[in-house]
Amino acid sequence: MLTSIDLFSGCGGMTLGFSWTGFNSLLASDIDENCEKTFATNFPEIPFLCGDLSNFKKSDFDVYINKTAVDVIIGGPPCQGFSLANKKRNKVKDDPRNRLFYEFVKTIDWYGPKAFVMENVKGLLSMQSGKVMLQILEELKLAGKYGYEVDYKILKASDYGVPQARERVIIIGIRKDLNQSPRFPERCVDVEITVDEATSDLPPIQAGEGKEVMDYASAPQNNYQMRMRNKANKVYNHIAMKHTKRLIERFKAIQPGKNLLDVWETHGAVQRGNPTAKSKIKFSQNNLRLIADKPAPTIAASFQSNFIHPHLHRNFTAREGARLQSFPDDFIFEGMRTKMSWEKGLSQYQQIGNAVPPLMAFEIAKILKEQLTCTP
């Protein structure tokens, strides 16, 4: 059985996808306490180190790995603040803005896995006119004792059965002594899964309705819904946010594919502290009503307020967001449902939006497994 270490794991989207192909995760780590709770609920058998990765030593990992060979290291270290202000390699490495990426590299240096998979946002490619990506690839090629054959590709989640047009940069490295080059999964669906196909069997609750545990509203209506139900016989995390009457009236006026800007004059946001005056701040991302027969746009960490249900006059529930990310219904999210600014830890919505879609991770893992099982 192939083994992995899961860094910057979040709630476990990548871990779940890799587990579906038979990978055995030896250890996972993330800094967020609510991600730890969610991870522990869904992967009770996998040790989890919660904290800043730079505070852990190899001995902290070795306690759990126990001399087991590590085949793959996977994770998505944040690179948005990556800096090339210092031209010398050691100076770049010492820049605190680059710290998290180098913690990922450090773990590769520790264990010399056969391969690694790194996920990141598409914008990484254009940072500093592409120079950041070149630096990251160079560092990854030099990692470990042997170095790595490294390549990257932009993958679109909807190409792999995820009902979402999310694009992410996937970087794969194969250890040079294995004499292989990285491979990426090909599109595996003929027709993209739509929002309705993903969510229409969930209870059609109104704003403010729902419970932590509910019965299904109907039998599964398609193969995607059957797959998402997996072993679940109940619906979890399906509670709709409460909305004011004014907000519900605004939602009613927004047609599929339209957003707040399309109904601004009559239903626009009001100024804070002055409800009789319209706000002058306009955001096209807010209150977008999704189109039922198309995949969703990217389900970001802020999706709780970004999107309106295709048919109902409310925002999406955490479970609906999880369906659009391809998390099955027996994957339960812990921590607060939504988050106030003073609260610590990521909310359920943020955990879902930050995750790698498990079905996309599954397709990446399948290709990698094929390669690594052919090597000594």
Give me the phi and psi of 69, to 5 degrees please: -65, 135
Give one DSSP letter per residue of 195-252, joined into a string: HHHHHTTS----TT-EEEEE--SS---SHHHHHHHTT-SSEEEEEPPP--HHHHHHHH
Note the Cα 146 to chain centre separation in Å.
Answer: 30
Query: Residue 146 has what DSSP assignment?
Result: T
Please say if 79 is a catalytic residue.
yes
Q: How many residues would you count in the chain?
A: 376
110-140 residues labelled b (16+ CB within 10 A) or e (exposed): bbbbbbbbbbbbeebeebeeeebbebbbebb
For 67-106, the DSSP string reads TPPP-EEEE----TT----S-SHHHHHH-GGGHHHHHHHH
Q: What letters, b where the CB count within 10 A reaches 16 and e where it falls short, cover 143-162?
A: bbeeebbbebeebbbbbbbb
Q: Which of 11, 79, 188, 374 is catalytic?
A: 79
Measured CA distances, 24 to 66, 119, 137, 230, 328 (Å): 14, 19, 27, 20, 19
Q: How far, in whole angstroms, is CA 17 from its chain's centroid?
A: 11
- Contact criterion met (CB below 8 Å) for 5 and 25: yes
CB 36, CB 333: distance < 8 Å: no
What's the rounded Cα separation, in Å, for the pair 39 and 59?
22
Closest CA to 363 of 117, 176, 173: 117
User: Which residues participate in catalysis according to the annotation?
Assistant: 79
